[in-house]
């Protein structure tokens, strides 16, 4: 059977990872078109990945390339309008997190998506496709650790990426630390507990990179949350892990607790040398979640092929963004923020 033909928009840090995964590892999906505003990226797509058609305009790619699906890996502030355009043109859409950076736009795009149930929409919360997180989810669902009372999450980018985060913040398209980074942990809290958040209190600072404050962003942030059933969530998000990419999750239940990546180890190697006994750390998101990124797009293709609905929906995008925006508001005002009931 011919693979499903797709176009990708965005070939930056993550776009290149997705594009290379599709071309090399996902049999049922093929990229025949790519869109970027950076000419060298289109050259790379053609020469290194065999993606023949290159576009500088997203709309032109959707209108002219003969594709059934679109993979959106552009700056977060462009997601909602690109999803709307692609959906109106009858395409299936996979979109990177976050769904958007403004609530009215997200609410609007959610309506557009839900009005066309025959088209597949999937949001890129890739941690749900990581083997360890899936195993943890099975344990929680089995009731083995009892009722979840608390979820504690760390999501801290490597300090080696700080320069690029200053640039990222300057372009102000990411939505800030809570929308860009904490949103992964917010999704995990919702996924593991099945509960929505009632109240948040968020704080932060910029000790390592005061420049981030100039652009209204935060280098290290923390949020304390009360869920609707009174369970607790504690999130720490940041851009300054000197040892590497630190993603760690703990779930406490009434009968036990579990941790995912208690130490964010790179692999099973231990080094014994003049510095002592060391376990190298995972270095960045493409390494830590390599297989999860492949798994999520494999699932996107399967859903298109079998007419199935992905597990990660527009509602997940909306609810997680509401919570992230509440964190941002709490951080900015210093106040406890209550989320409105539906
Ligand atoms: N799941 C994850 O862990 C994860 C990790 C990194 C990034 N992301 C998400 O992926 C998205 C992209 O992030 P990134 O770090 O790869 O960004 P990036 O800045 O490295 O790349 C952005 C890409 O978008 C393209 N672009 C910019 N404006 C455009 C326009 N008007 N039309 C078409 N293309 C345009 C650029 O040419 C570039 O190829 C963001 O939404 C981000 O939140 C997710």
Of the CA atoms within 13 Å of residue 25, those in its CB half-sphere come to 15
Residues of the chain above pLDDT 70, percent: 98
Q: What is the pLDDT, as a whole number, of residue 171?
A: 64
User: Structure tokens of 11?
Assistant: 């070939």
Q: Within the chain, how many helices (H) and strands (E) appear?
A: 13, 15
- Residue 121 Cβ inside 6 Å of ligand 1? The answer reads no
Q: What is the pLDDT, as a whole number, of residue 313?
A: 96
| Whole-angstrom distance, CA of residue 261 vs CA of residue 268 | 12
- Residue 60 Cβ inside 6 Å of ligand 1? The answer reads no
Helix 39-49 and helix 13-25, axial crossing angle in degrees, nearest 10: 20
Answer whether residue 173 shows pLDDT above 80. no
The predicted-structure confidence for 50-97, as pLDDT tens digits, reads as follows 999 999 999 999 999 999 999 999 999 999 999 999 999 999 999 999
Q: Where are the alpha helices (DSSP H) in 50-126?
A: 58-64, 79-88, 103-114
- For the CA of 285, the closest atom of ligand 1 is 3
- For the CA of 41, the closest atom of ligand 1 is 39
Q: Which of 48-52, 118-122, 165-169, 184-188 has the lowest mean pLDDT?
A: 165-169
The closest residue, in CA terms, to atom 29 on ligand 1 is: 37
CATH for the 4-124+292-312 domain, from 1.10.10.10, 3.90.1150.10, 3.30.930.10, 3.40.50.720: 3.40.50.720
Phi, then psi, of 95 in degrees rounded to 5: -130, 135
Cβ–Cβ under 8 Å, residues 251 and 257 = yes
Residues of the chain above pLDDT 90, percent: 91
Distance 119 CA to ligand 1 centre (A): 23
Distance 272 CA to ligand 1 centre (A): 39
Cβ–Cβ under 8 Å, residues 156 and 239 = yes
Distance 79 CA to ligand 1 centre (A): 10
Q: What is the pLDDT, as a whole number, of residue 37?
A: 97
Cβ–Cβ under 8 Å, residues 72 and 83 = yes
Q: What is the pLDDT, as a whole number, of residue 163?
A: 78
- Residue 7 Cβ inside 6 Å of ligand 1? The answer reads no
Overall size of the chain counted in residues: 342
38 or 340, higher pLDDT: 38
Per-residue pLDDT, averaged over 253-270, amounts to 96
Q: Confidence band (pLDDT; 50, 70, 90) for 172?
A: low
Nearest to 174 by CA among 223, 123, 215, 207: 215
User: Where would I find the beta strands (DSSP E) of the chain?
Assistant: 4-9, 29-35, 53-55, 69-72, 92-96, 121-124, 148-158, 197-205, 220-227, 232-241, 246-253, 257-260, 271-273, 276-278, 337-338
Q: What is the pLDDT, as a whole number, of residue 167?
A: 74
- Residue 74 Cβ inside 6 Å of ligand 1? The answer reads yes
Q: Phi/psi zone of residue 10: left (φ > 0), alpha (ψ -120 to 50 degrees), beta?
A: left
Residue 117, burial from CB neighbour count under 10 angstroms (0-12, 13-18, 19+): exposed
Q: Confidence band (pLDDT; 50, 70, 90) for 342?
A: low
- Cβ count within 10 A of residue 14: 17
Determine the distance from the C-alpha atom of residue 225 to the mean position of all C-alpha atoms in its chain, rounded to a whole number.
Answer: 20
H or E element at residue 23: helix 13-25
- Residue 76 Cβ inside 6 Å of ligand 1? The answer reads yes
Residues 6 or more apart in contact with residue 146 via CB below 8 angstroms: 253, 254, 255, 256
The predicted-structure confidence for 311-321, as pLDDT tens digits, reads as follows 999 999 999 99
Per-residue pLDDT, averaged over 237-247, amounts to 96
> Average pLDDT, whole number, for the chain?
95
The predicted-structure confidence for 286-310, as pLDDT tens digits, reads as follows 999 999 999 999 999 999 999 999 9
The CATH number given to 128-285+320-338 is: 3.30.360.10
Per-residue pLDDT, averaged over 236-263, amounts to 97
Q: What is the pLDDT, as a whole number, of residue 330?
A: 97
Q: What is the pLDDT, as a whole number, of residue 223?
A: 98
Answer whether residue 276 shows pLDDT above 90. yes
Distance 33 CA to ligand 1 centre (A): 16
Q: Indicate the SS3 state at residue 252.
A: strand
Q: What is the pLDDT, as a whole number, of residue 147?
A: 98
Nearest to 283 by CA among 189, 157, 154: 157
Cβ–Cβ under 8 Å, residues 241 and 159 = yes
- For the chain, domain boundaries: 4-124+292-312, 128-285+320-338
| Whole-angstrom distance, CA of residue 197 vs CA of residue 293 | 27
Answer whether residue 146 shows pLDDT above 90. yes
Per-residue pLDDT, averaged over 8-31, amounts to 97
């Amino acid at each position: 059977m011919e693979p499903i033909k797709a176009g990708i928009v965005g070939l930056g840090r993550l776009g290149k990872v997705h594009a290379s995964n599709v071309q090399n590892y996902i049999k049922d999906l093929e990229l025949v078109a790519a869109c970027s505003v950076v000419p060298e990226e289109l050259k790379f797509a053609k020469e290194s990945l065999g993606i023949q058609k290159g576009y500088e305009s997203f709309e032109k790619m959707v209108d002219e390339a003969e594709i059934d699906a679109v993979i959106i890996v552009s700056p977060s502030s462009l997601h909602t309008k690109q999803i709307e355009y692609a959906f109106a043109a009858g395409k299936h859409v996979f979109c990177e997190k976050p769904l958007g950076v403004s609530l009215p736009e997200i609410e609007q795009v959610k309506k557009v998506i839900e009005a066309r149930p025959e088209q597949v929409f999937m949001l890129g919360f890739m941690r749900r496709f990581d083997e360890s997180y899936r195993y943890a989810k099975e344990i929680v669902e089995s009731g083995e650790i009892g009722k979840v009372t608390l979820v504690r999450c760390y999501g801290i980018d490597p300090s080696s990426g700080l320069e690029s985060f200053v640039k990222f913040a300057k372009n102000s398209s990411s939505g800030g630390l809570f929308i860009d980074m904490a949103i992964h942990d917010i999704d995990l809290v919702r996924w593991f507990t099945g509960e929505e958040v009632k109240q948040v209190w968020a704080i932060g600072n910029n000790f390592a990179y005061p420049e981030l404050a100039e652009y209204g962003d935060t280098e290290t942030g923390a949020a304390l949350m009360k869920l609707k059933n009174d369970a607790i969530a504690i999130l720490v998000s940041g851009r300054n892990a000197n040892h590497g990419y630190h993603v760690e999750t703990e779930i406490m239940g009434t009968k036990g607790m579990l941790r995912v990546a208690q130490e964010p180890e790179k692999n099973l190697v231990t080094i014994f040398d003049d510095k002592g006994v060391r376990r190298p750390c995972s270095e960045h998101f493409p390494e830590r979640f390599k297989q999860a990124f492949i798994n999520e797009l494999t699932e996107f293709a399967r859903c298109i092929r079998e007419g199935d609905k992905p597990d990660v929906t527009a509602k997940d995008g909306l609810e997680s963004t509401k919570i992230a925006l509440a964190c941002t508001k709490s951080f900015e005002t210093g106040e406890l923020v209550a989320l409105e009931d539906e």
